[in-house]
Amino acid sequence: MLLSVRGLEVEYFGKKGNVPAVRGVSFDLDSSRSLGIVGESGSGKTTLALALAGLVGSHEGRARGEGVVFEGRDLLLCGGEELRRLRGKDIGFVFQDPFSSLNPVMTIGAQIEEAILVHARAGRSGAADRRTRDQARARGLELLSRAQIPDPPRVHGSYPHQISGGQRQRAMIAMAVANRPKLLIADEPTTALDVTVQKDILELLTRLRKELDMALLFITHHLGIASLYTEDLLIMYAGKIVESGPTAEVLSRPQHPYTRALLDSVPGRPARGAARRRRLAAIAGSPPDPTHLPAGCAFHPRCPFAEEICRTDIPEARDLEGMERRAACHLAPLEGP
């Protein structure tokens, strides 16, 4: 098992009290597998990813839990220096907005080389020598070529504002895989890109995952993307995982009302039951305020199936008999497809 997360909780500090963003999340990720995390904005997806990489700053919040074990090492117990050695080497991260993530006053090549040299120096004392720098430059050009960037030498010497959004994201991916990480976390890496560029970036991530034999944790709000590019799936709502299992199984026979509602809101998908809708289905209501969560199941105010127990008791995630599935719903398994 590459990554095992148990009871992870993340909260941010606020003027009127702490704000829970991730609530008791548990899951496993095997080496070389692709895991998608899907949910509405504010469901806790990005915070979960940041916490796994140790990027929730101590001045803004805190992460705690039973354990976040990566290759036998509990990341919740690691100090700052140890986490810095892991990030960029064993754990790569692709941010949603490369323009704000890349250094505007450094060339693309210099930033990739820095990512390589920082971890090269970590293995020995002293600054990098000329030969090491030349090797890092050659590696940077190789990575840009591997990321299918046209004219790698030009992009290597360019600043972030001098290249396109798609090229910036490819450069960010090249930097994230520079040290051949065992886990790559991609936080909605195609959100700001054109549809045609999105497809290219997704196929690039898939190809690199296979070539480098790394696990991929892919965050998206788009179920269609998750269905094509992930093997396993977590559905998040209000900071909790409400359903998990193999992607094909979750999307073909959803066992949580929220997962069903997400699927029914996908354009072009027929409505459940005999009647066919003429308009795009929408999930009633709004996501709850994390500082004032409803009693019982957080989804019950929006759930068409809610019963009294849903309003009073918090459902725990449990294995569903006869399925490769876990769901946090009192009523699961649900009837119908």
Domain chopping of the chain, boundaries: 98-180, 255-327
- The pLDDT-based confidence of 194 (bands split at 50, 70, 90) is confident
Please report the pLDDT score of residue 273 as a whole number: 53
**More reliable by pLDDT, 68 or 281:** 68
Q: Is 321 helix (H, G, I), strand (E, B) or coil?
A: coil
Please report the pLDDT score of residue 274 as a whole number: 43
pTM of whole model > 0.85? yes
pLDDT in tens, 24-64: 999 999 999 999 999 999 999 999 999 999 999 889 999 99
Please report the pLDDT score of residue 16 as a whole number: 85
From start to end of the chain, where are the E strands?
3-12, 19-29, 34-38, 61-64, 67-70, 73-74, 91-94, 183-187, 215-220, 232-237, 240-246, 318-319, 326-327
Please report the pLDDT score of residue 68 as a whole number: 97
Contact indicator for 247, 263 with CB cutoff of 8 Å: no
What average pLDDT score do residues 193-209 get?
92
Say how many C-beta atoms besides its own lie within 10 A of residue 133's C-beta: 15
Please report the pLDDT score of residue 266 as a whole number: 83
Question: Which amino acid makes up residue 46?
Answer: T
What average pLDDT score do residues 160-171 get?
95
Q: Minimal CA–CA distance to 226: which of 208, 205, 211?
A: 205
pLDDT in tens, 220-266: 999 999 999 999 999 999 999 999 999 999 999 999 999 999 999 88
Q: How far is CA 320 from CA 255, 307, 326, 331, in A?
A: 9, 19, 6, 11
pLDDT in tens, 103-157: 999 999 999 999 999 887 655 555 557 778 899 999 999 999 999 999 999 999 9
Residue 125's contacts (CB-CB under 8 Å, 6 or more residues apart) are: none
Q: Is the pLDDT of residue 270 over 70?
A: no
What average pLDDT score do residues 5-17 get?
95
Cα 25 to Cα 10: distance, rounded to the nearest angstrom:
9
What average pLDDT score do residues 205-234 get?
95
What average pLDDT score do residues 74-89 get?
92
Cα 322 to Cα 24: distance, rounded to the nearest angstrom:
25
Cα 26 to Cα 4: distance, rounded to the nearest angstrom:
8
Please report the pLDDT score of residue 335 as a whole number: 77
Cα 148 to Cα 144: distance, rounded to the nearest angstrom:
7
Q: Could you give phi then psi for residue 308, rounded to 5 degrees? A: -60, -40
Please report the pLDDT score of residue 281 as a whole number: 79
Longest CA–CA span in the chain (Å) reads: 71
Q: How far is CA 105 from CA 26, 125, 134, 313, in A?
A: 40, 27, 21, 53
**More reliable by pLDDT, 22 or 84:** 22
- The pLDDT-based confidence of 191 (bands split at 50, 70, 90) is confident
Please report the pLDDT score of residue 290 as a whole number: 94
Q: Is the pLDDT of residue 279 over 70?
A: no
What average pLDDT score do residues 82-98 get?
92
What average pLDDT score do residues 265-288 get?
70
